[in-house]
Chains A and B, each alone.
Chain A
Amino acid sequence: MGNALGIKGIMGLGKESSYGSAVDVTDRLLMISEGINFDYTDALHDYLHGGAGLPGMERLFEPVSGSFDCYVPYTVKSNSDFISADLLIALAMGNSDWIAGQGSNEIKFVDDLNVFGTLAFNKWRTDHVWEVISAMIKSFTLTCSLDKPMVISAEIAAQDLLIGATTVNQGSELIALPTAVPDLIQLRHFVFRIGDQSGAMGAGDTTGISSFTINVNNNLTDHQQTTTDNASSHTEPEHPIQPVRNGFREVTLEIVVPRYGNDTFFDHVANDDNLQAEIYATQPTSSEEFDIIFPNLKIQGDPLAPIAGAEALSQTITFRALKRNADSDVAFGDAGTDDGEMWVEVDNDRTATIF
């Protein structure tokens, strides 16, 4: 019996249709690391019983939570399975539309986040898969900098975690997920454009950045426990009910400009300008695309350009993404728009909607 080796880890993701019901995974995620665990709550028998020792403890609640990191590739399709991160992004944002004329998927935010998936991964035995059921994405971060490919870090809240032979996904199925070596999305593939809302973005809005970080927080409810409920088909009171939105969605963008050679961003914050941005990645060989669009941004707090010593001054600017406003000029490839504060459009091996 071999020990668990990180090098033998495989992670897959599949979209579920019914909360609490696992499905076969369809997408191999390029897992870097994971930290998903049982988040058990136990009741201690800590009443006064005439002795010093604790006589017992009982399980109260069995939610599952944690996070994982993956690289983001240009999606590869193999038969009906994929190597991707766009399913994960679509589950986090809520909706995906296939645009046949563009050959692309437009991923958008939804008001009621009601999509979830099955995560399955090998740890130490291929016949003891860890299967996370009905994982919803509480938050995710996309980072891209000069020293590594784009990475997505996702924090999940799940209904259950099963380990062993009874899981829907078996180790052999994970091993059978596509094994092609995909192209990773890199900083050098991106063109970053940002400017005020005074017309379509152009070459004059192109800005050289050395990194960007996008944070999306869906602000879902924390794990909540109820007794069984007929209306919502909640039959397992030891597991949490489905999370729902518990506040406004928070979307921020942070960029680092490695040179301070103009006052553009300082002028924008002083003028309280509404801005818009396009972050477009194109694979140099295949021309596949991964585009991120912000229709309405404002600089949050202070742009920073401190004199830290003898080194060159750099700028760090954080933006808050807002609901699209009437002055926004940006659009999807098909000229369509959306009210959400961030849009993602992907053009890759997929030939249909993500889900």
Chain B
Amino acid sequence: MSNALGVKSKATFRIESDQGMVTGAYPTTEAEADLEEVVLDGYDLIPLASESIVEGRENEVGETLLGTPAISHHDNVAIMPGGGIELHGFYDGLDQLIACVMGYEHPGTDAAPIFPDYTKGTAEKTGTVNGTQGVDALTDTVAIPFVEGDIGKFAMLYGANAEAGQIRRISAFVNTTGVLVTPNWSVTPVDASTLYVVSQEFQHLFELSMQLQDELWTDEYSSYPTTGVGTSNDKIIRRGTLGFQKYATKPWVWRSCFINSITFNFSAKSGMTISIDAIPFNLERNSATNANATGWKFSESPLFTPLENERILFNHLSGNGFLRIDEFVNGNMTSADEYGISDFSITINNNLKVDDQDALTGAFRVQPARGGNREVTGSFTMPRYAADTFQDWAKNNTILQSHIKFAGSTIATIPRAFEIFISSFKLEAPQAPIAGAEVIKQTYNFRAIIPASAPSFIANDGGNPQNDNPTQYMITPRSELMIRTTNQFPFNCFRDSNKEY
């Protein structure tokens, strides 16, 4: 049996539950955790740098007086796993983690699914299925749109019909009128009725939710689509199965893992790094569901490019990327609002209550829930002090907004992107000290707050819709932070739309 080598390690994360969105529930026992554990496979690889998650076993030493100073009892009283994960920033592989820490990705309606948006690129195909449909096929004998190069793209069904909400990967080209999909449709498309869209470029928008516990989708969004494969009993689940390949064939599998906090760090001359505080329910080292890690990848699609994924680098803030800050009242920002910042950090801390036990959970924890206000805070450094703009904003307690955009290489027709929208924030602790003979730098802390109205970060760009201003769907209250990703991950994180395994 080989030894564990860090260079051979890898990690995955996938949102639960294997029992489905209706039956899934936070476990109270190891047997229930077995049922919640999902298969980790070809869309779930995360860009791991290091991890330090432990089982959190607490022991109580027996100090009963038995006539001897030697301790005779040492009993386990709690198992409260937790710990940190360090990741490198990549354009793919982060969506499910971001979804769990933020809590919301808008589903839209069956007739108009919002996210992931399949229409931001310029090569997507849309239409109505026509001709004889099969359980494993997508057929359009009217538009005749398909080509060999569609293998590896993803098809989403929508419309006010029972088939809406399904997403499948195109696995084979039959002819220009049809392709095969994998796995089979749960509900076969209906000739001349079901609408479809095909793409390999997707855009997600993640917003901050009120709750992070399991709850009905309809409690979070009253118009949750139920015409298609969604039901009124669907739950929105913001926890996942987390796996690490260590030494043995069988990976370490942490079940029902909440993400309590996440910090994005980026500084000059480096790639983005991400720190996560993970709160699992328990550890399984001999999982029947995840017996090996051989299939762990960023994507099953042969079109996924580059194969090793692409890093988010600090210098991706130039070119198509930028870092803009301006007063909230001024609305849309432009290149005039770009600033030379050399170091930036932002943290979302959900302040979950993670240390409760009860008679049902025994040694394990009760489902984490918000135990305090969510905090979105951060800091940044400007390597030069040549204007009092930020000092004035801090002094005047001005409400600001920010749009941070990392733009990478083109996927197929549009650049991949990672964007942070800070809806409203105020500066804290401004500093510009004379530290010695060197150049004087400015450093600022900031705290994000709920915006007073819908923020407007950027003017819509008709020719490049992937750059449009993001619309907030969580509006009571509005999110103080949004994250938008443009990448190759085809599934809505909270709709259990990955049926491939």
Contact = CB atoms under 8 A, between A and B. Distances in A.
Given A249-B69, A309-B50, A323-B68, A260 B246 contact: yes
Nearest to A113: B69
B257 to A, nearest CB: 16
Contact of B247 (A245, A260, A300, A322): A260
A45 interface: no
B71 A259 contact: no
Interface residues of B, number: 37
6 contacts: A248-B61, A250-B71, A259-B4, A261-B2, A312-B5, A322-B73
Contact of A269 (B7, B11, B57, B67): B57
Interface of B: 1-7, 9, 11, 48-59, 61, 63, 67-74, 76, 244, 246-248, 285
B52 A111 contact: no
A302 B55 contact: yes
Contacts of A341: 70-71
A13 B184 CA distance: 82
Interface residues of A, number: 39
A177 B68 CA distance: 38
Contacts of B71: 248-250, 320-323, 341
Given A305-B4, A339-B68, A339-B70, 18 more contacts: A245-B69, A247-B63, A247-B69, A259-B4, A260-B247, A261-B2, A298-B74, A300-B59, A301-B57, A301-B58, A306-B50, A306-B52, A307-B246, A312-B3, A312-B5, A313-B4, A323-B70, A323-B71
Interface centre among A266, A307, A310, A323, by most B CB within 10 Å?
A307
A104 B57 CA distance: 40
Interface of A: 109, 111, 219, 245, 247-250, 259-263, 266, 269-270, 272, 298, 300-302, 304-313, 320-323, 325, 339-341
A317 B335 CA distance: 55
Nearest to B74: A298
A322 B69 CA distance: 10
B69 A248 contact: yes
A320 B74 contact: yes
Contact of B4 (A247, A248, A249, A261): A261
A325 B68 CA distance: 13
A342 to B, nearest CB: 9
Contact of A311 (B6, B76, B244): B6
Given A272-B76, A307-B50, A322-B74, A313 B61 contact: no
A247 B64 CA distance: 11
Contacts of B53: 306
Contacts of B244: 307
A307 B9 contact: yes
A307 B2 contact: no
Contact of A320 (B1, B6, B51, B61): B61
A305 B55 CA distance: 11
Contacts of A259: 3-4
Contact of A249 (B55, B70, B248): B70
Nearest to B86: A309
Given A301-B57, A322-B70, A323-B68, A313 B3 contact: yes
Contacts of A304: 54
B301 to A, nearest CB: 27
B246 A109 contact: no
Contact of A313 (B6, B57, B72): B6
Given A248-B63, A269-B57, A308 B52 contact: yes
A322 B4 CA distance: 31
Contacts of A321: 71
A325 B55 CA distance: 27
Contact of B1 (A245, A247, A261): A261
B248 A340 contact: no
Contact of B48 (A245, A272, A307): A307
Given A312-B4, A313-B247, A322 B54 contact: no
Contacts of A263: 248, 285
Contact of A306 (B1, B51, B73): B51
Contact of A301 (B3, B52, B59, B247): B59
A109 B67 CA distance: 14
A305 B246 CA distance: 9
Contacts of A340: 70
Nearest to B9: A307
B246 A313 contact: yes
A294 to B, nearest CB: 12
A309 B54 contact: no
A307 B51 contact: yes
A111 B285 contact: no
A306 B9 CA distance: 11
A129 to B, nearest CB: 34
B74 A307 contact: no
